[in-house]
Structure 1
Amino acid sequence: MKKMKFKYILYTLAVFLSTSACQDFLDPESLSTFDSEYIFSNADDARKAVNAMYVHYSHDGFRSRLSNNMTGNTDIEHAGGSSDGARYQIWRLDAQENNGDLAYVWNIGYQAIRDANIAIEGISASEALNSNDVALSNEMYHLLGEAYTMRAYWYSMLIFYFGDVPFSTQAPAVDVEFNLPKEDRNVILSTVIQDLIDIEEKMKWADDTRYGIEQINREYTLGMIARLALQRGGYYLTPELSMARESDYLDYYKIARDYSNKLMTLKDRDLPEDFRQIFMNQCKFISPVNEDILFEVPFAIGRGDVAWNIGIRVDGGNHEYGSGSNYMAMPPTYLYSFDAEDKRLPVTCGLYTINSDFIQELVSSGSMNISQGKWSRHFLDTPPGRTTAKGTGINWPMLRYSDVILMFAEAENEINGPTAEAQAALKRVRQRAFDEAVWNTKVDQYVSTASANKESFFDAIVDERAWEFGGEMIRKYELIRWNLYSEKINETVEGCKQMADEALAGTGTLPDYLYTKLDETGNLVILNLHEKLIAPPDDSWERESWLISMSSETTTDGYAEWMTRDWDNYVNPGNIGVPEGVIRYIFPIPTIGIDNSKGLLKNDGYNFGY
């Protein structure tokens, strides 16, 4: 009931605010005509004001863009196509100022920041914040922490996509100037990190809040301190098109280590043994506290695009589950990077689709459209209806505890090398991925070998994060801060080409063809996912083209078109005027931001307009 109640609150708020959801950049109009002093004089009305921040998650700019569609391409998630539409421009790294998807993100980012600023200013000025009523004071401080954390998240995203951006920390008022110049990204990140450090101890754990992991809680804020600190301590693209990091970066790795460790010390929990159940819970509308997910976006029924544009594809037709596609495929290089015994593999990489007759089929080998298997509308307990598509109500994970554990391992290694503490953290995550019977080799020996030095341990962290978080669409941000974006994309393209060459030549050990059939329960069974077979054991198996489909007789280079087209501007950055080895992940500020800035903002640097 707790989960559904917050979903309902967000739905009604979304309807109420929908008529003003496209206000101009940093529009100084308040969300409410009620007197601010009254609104923030009591916890119930203050809660409603804070809830307004969450409504922006239901905007297309987040639910179908920022959360997943805009985060390809990487070495583990692949998007592409030949259209000139907004999202294709973003995937090809050549989006223009008039790109509608960029405008969506810019708008909702600053609207959410505006609402957070209103809440921060109203709560901070309220007598209720330091009331003699301890319960009231505690609630108000927690609400204040939610607002600070929400603001920090949106500034983090705006920085990843636009670099230096305007930085406002004031609520709308007639005497406040909101047409601001760009602020240095590092100044913004340092400021919002300190905000969270100052407030986190006054926040509530998820199991003490009304809505658990469906609202921002202390666990999430502690995790966000670590995530933001690694962003601040990591690499970033300068307007001169070089990757740089600040000389004080180790100070921020120390913050990341200390605050991830703080959460692990104060509110540790066992990682759920069943990796699949983490995401099945989301598809079943179950939101347990004190488990892996620390915070998830609470989409109301009828809202949210999980299992519509991301997840196992379901074709509409002769069933009541509606239709849902998958815009982000997983390259076969990622699939075959997994250990065959890794229990995360079948959960993460969806190898089947549901056809219009509700029958499982092997994913299309023509585009190798391996899907994010963690979600699907056909996992829903109640079919949403034959004509449904969007609005499944499945929540979106924002941060998991395993992420915090791996951030600790990474930060500790960067500061002190692969210490016993760093190794123990990596082992915790890997233990869930394998049966206990093979921990000696797959966990202990693996981690021991990886711990030979700082560099090899870092490489292991890079790999582990890929296997743990595939399909959760955070890889792009990690590759940026590690300065590995170009290297990993090139590895992926070359790896795909090698697979295609070996399949065409009949060499190598991976399967050129797969042999499949349906078992007695209607589930797709693959006989030889990890090995080449000349023939199946009997005629009950059907042969399907697999890695052999990555070659083509119709293209000039002999490879399937998606292999070179979709990553072209990544591996050949000169196409858009970028130096070799650099990926221009920064996009131009959208037209609406430029026009509303009264001349303060312009798209300079990054070779925009090439």
Structure 2
Amino acid sequence: MKRILICLLLAASTMSACNKFLETEPEDFVTPENYYNTEADLRRALNGVYNRLIDNFGRMYSRGLFTYLSISDEFFFKSITINNIRVMEFDAGQLDIGRFWETAYQGIDRANLLLENINKPKMDETKRNVIKGEALFLRGYYYFLLVDNFGGVPLKLVSTKSPNEAFLPRSTVKEVYTQILKDMLEAEKLVSDINGYTYNETVTQTAVQAILARVYLTMAGEPLKETARYKDALEYADKVINSGRHSLSPDYKQIFINHSQDKYDLQECIWEVGMYGNQLGNAQLAGAVGIENGLECPDDKIGYSGGSVHPTARLFSLYAATDLRRDWAIAPYRYVTTNGVTTKSNYTAAQIYDRTCGKWRREYEMSTPKNRSYNSTNFPVIRYADVLLMKAEAENEVNGPSAAAYNALNMVRRRGYGKPLGTPDAAVDAPAGMDKAAFLAYIQDERARELSFEAMRKHDLIRWGLYLSKMQSLAAEITATAPSGLKYAANAAKNITPRNLVFPIPNTELTVNRLIVQNPNW
């Protein structure tokens, strides 16, 4: 599948030290001076910016960002009782945290280098502007990932020319968000309409607008608490809704089956990170969606997963029994192999903690042979359902629980129960007459139901100021109610303290950059 291609390595830091060992200059050596001469060069460089969303070591959207980098009250890791990141026991030397930081800055540096050379080739100006817009957005998005996870970070807006360049101090959270908005708002005017594509791995106008709604909602909450931004979030959610480019897919489970089958759904899925292949060939752009967070299966032909990500009973109990999303998001069965024969084994009603994530099921994958650790399943960064729920939340904050807020919320709920989207249904619609606080609480639960395992719950809880209290209460719940052999599921929640609202600045950065100050209590 997938439109992200293998890119040439364009980092400027690789451009030194060669010709003093050689008598002649290599003719195929890539530098900014002999590159960026054609539209094709710019597009290859842009692929390199996208490429950092898929880290070969699994710290970005290939694995980490939707699993061990997003621990919340919706899941725990199977049989993890020792000290590591999966139980939130780590320090500033943790390898995955450092690699996450480095990979995001690699994406930023590649974007900076491309933007510095954007005007070099002679080419169609509309096409040039599209490439510029995508690069600007991606730079802003990498900074969004960084500020959301680390707090204030150094703002580097020019490419690295030499390892001897001066280091930068941390910018404030506000300063980083100001740059994010600058990049994304400019990008909105430059990128293409999604109607011109048959795939959704490229950043398009509604993708920029949807992410801007997310950015504004985040700015309205913790830690900035710029509540005036709710109005901006509402404006940008409405831009996506009123564009007419997107709608809810009628069948919830089909969204994720399509991912596993390498099919595109541009109506529901506004922007996806594209994975490619299964890491068995030369291309190193595969991911682990449905493997790290997959339905337990020991059979390679069906699609192996150790089933390491398990839902909490709290998440399970948020769904009504008639909510079709429950038994899709949370697997009602696993695969077992007996005497060489693999069959489905249904969980009992008491086996809530035994269940695994079921959104992406490898049994639907069509590419063979199947790799135990990698696949080509895309990850949805933002879906239309998320936009509707952001619309409901922002509308509630600006105008209270209006008819427009209820309508956006209820469309998502009706789809979750397999009901007609435009027809009121008292059995599934949100209760009428809620006040502003009650409506917000309802949205908070609905986001957990709709977007479970999609890397949103931790982000949401932090911006709502609920992360610490939710994790502390989760630890108590699991300790009191989980089966004796599964009480370890509380370990991550028990280890959460106020410092965990952000990750530590990695030691690899602190060691070389003396201008960096560590986050509190790390």
Which range, TM-score by smaller chain? 0.7 to 0.9
The equivalent of 1:461 in structure 2 is: 443
Q: Does the 8 A contact of 1:297 with 1:395 survive in 2?
A: yes
- Give deviations 1:106-125, integer Å, cap 9, x for gaps: 111110110111122222x4
- Partner amino acid for 1:55? N
1:565 to 491, 496, 499: 491
The equivalent of 1:213 in structure 2 is: 200
Mapped partners of 2:61, 2:306: distance in 1: 15
From the superposition, tell whether residues 82 and 298 of structure 1 become closer, same or farther in structure 2 (CA, over 3 Å): closer
Where 1:399 maps in the other structure, the secondary structure is strand
Gaps of 5+ in 2: 17-27, 279-285
Mapped partners of 1:321, 1:180: distance in 2: 50
- Partner amino acid for 1:79? F
Deviates more, 1:419-428 or 1:74-83: 74-83
2:363 to 366, 375, 378: 378
From the superposition, tell whether residues 61 and 382 of structure 1 become closer, same or farther in structure 2 (CA, over 3 Å): closer
The equivalent of 1:440 in structure 2 is: 425
The equivalent of 1:359 in structure 2 is: 343
How big is the shift at 1:174? 4.8
Mapped partners of 2:260, 2:471: distance in 1: 31
1:73 to 71, 74, 86: 71
Q: Does the 8 A contact of 2:296 with 2:306 survive in 1?
A: yes
How big is the shift at 1:369? 3.2
Alignment of 1:182-581 (within 5 A): 182-209=170-197, 212-236=199-223, 245-246=224-225, 249-289=226-266, 291-302=267-278, 303-316=286-299, 320-356=301-337, 357-362=341-346, 368-385=353-370, 388-436=371-419, 439-444=424-429, 446-449=430-433, 452-496=434-478, 500=481, 550-552=482-484, 560-570=486-496, 573=497
How big is the shift at 1:366? 7.7
How big is the shift at 1:127? 6.7
How big is the shift at 1:46? 0.9
Where 1:407 maps in the other structure, the secondary structure is helix
How big is the shift at 1:272? 0.8
Mapped partners of 1:207, 1:40: distance in 2: 28
Alignment of 1:72-151 (within 5 A): 72-79=70-77, 81-82=79-80, 84=82, 89-123=84-118, 125-126=119-120, 136-151=124-139
RMSD of aligned Cα (Å): 2.8
1:46 and 2:46 aligned: no
Q: Does the 8 A contact of 1:146 with 1:216 survive in 2?
A: yes
1:171 and 2:159 aligned: yes
- Partner amino acid for 1:471? F
Where 1:255 maps in the other structure, the secondary structure is helix
Where 2:287 maps in the other structure, the secondary structure is coil
Deviates more, 1:364-373 or 1:424-433: 364-373
- Partner amino acid for 1:191? Q
Mapped partners of 2:15, 2:443: distance in 1: 44
How big is the shift at 1:270? 2.5
How big is the shift at 1:586? 1.7
From the superposition, tell whether residues 99 and 442 of structure 1 become closer, same or farther in structure 2 (CA, over 3 Å): same
Mapped partners of 1:589, 1:163: distance in 2: 9
- Partner amino acid for 2:439? F
Choose 1 or 2 for highest CA Rg.
Answer: 1
From the superposition, tell whether residues 382 and 168 of structure 1 become closer, same or farther in structure 2 (CA, over 3 Å): closer
How big is the shift at 1:89? 2.8
- Give deviations 1:549-601, integer Å, cap 9, x for gaps: x333xxxxxx843243332123xx4xxxxxxxx4623222222111232x222
Where 2:84 maps in the other structure, the secondary structure is helix
1:607 and 2:521 aligned: yes
- Give deviations 1:280-304, integer Å, cap 9, x for gaps: 0011110132x11111111111111
From the superposition, tell whether residues 71 and 439 of structure 1 become closer, same or farther in structure 2 (CA, over 3 Å): farther
- Partner amino acid for 1:340? A
Alignment of 1:576-591 (within 5 A): 582=498, 584-591=500-507
How big is the shift at 1:39? 4.4
- Give deviations 1:473-530, integer Å, cap 9, x for gaps: 21100100000112222443444456x3xxxxxxxxxxxxxxxxxxxxxxxxxxxxxx
- Give deviations 1:404-423, integer Å, cap 9, x for gaps: 11111111211221122212
From the superposition, tell whether residues 127 and 63 of structure 1 become closer, same or farther in structure 2 (CA, over 3 Å): closer
Mapped partners of 2:166, 2:304: distance in 1: 43
Mapped partners of 1:363, 1:159: distance in 2: 40
Mapped partners of 1:326, 1:80: distance in 2: 8
- Give deviations 1:428-454, integer Å, cap 9, x for gaps: 21121124389522344x2424xx211
Where 2:59 maps in the other structure, the secondary structure is helix
**TM-score, length basis structure 1:** 0.75
**TM-score, length basis structure 2:** 0.87
Mapped partners of 1:44, 1:190: distance in 2: 32
Mapped partners of 1:427, 1:104: distance in 2: 40
The equivalent of 2:19 in structure 1 is: none
1:58 to 42, 50, 54: 54
- Partner amino acid for 1:569? N
How big is the shift at 1:37? 7.0
The equivalent of 2:281 in structure 1 is: none
How big is the shift at 1:359? 0.9
- Partner amino acid for 1:52? G
The equivalent of 1:509 in structure 2 is: none
Where 2:405 maps in the other structure, the secondary structure is helix
- Partner amino acid for 1:66? G
Mapped partners of 1:175, 1:58: distance in 2: 25
- Partner amino acid for 2:414? Q
How big is the shift at 1:58? 2.9
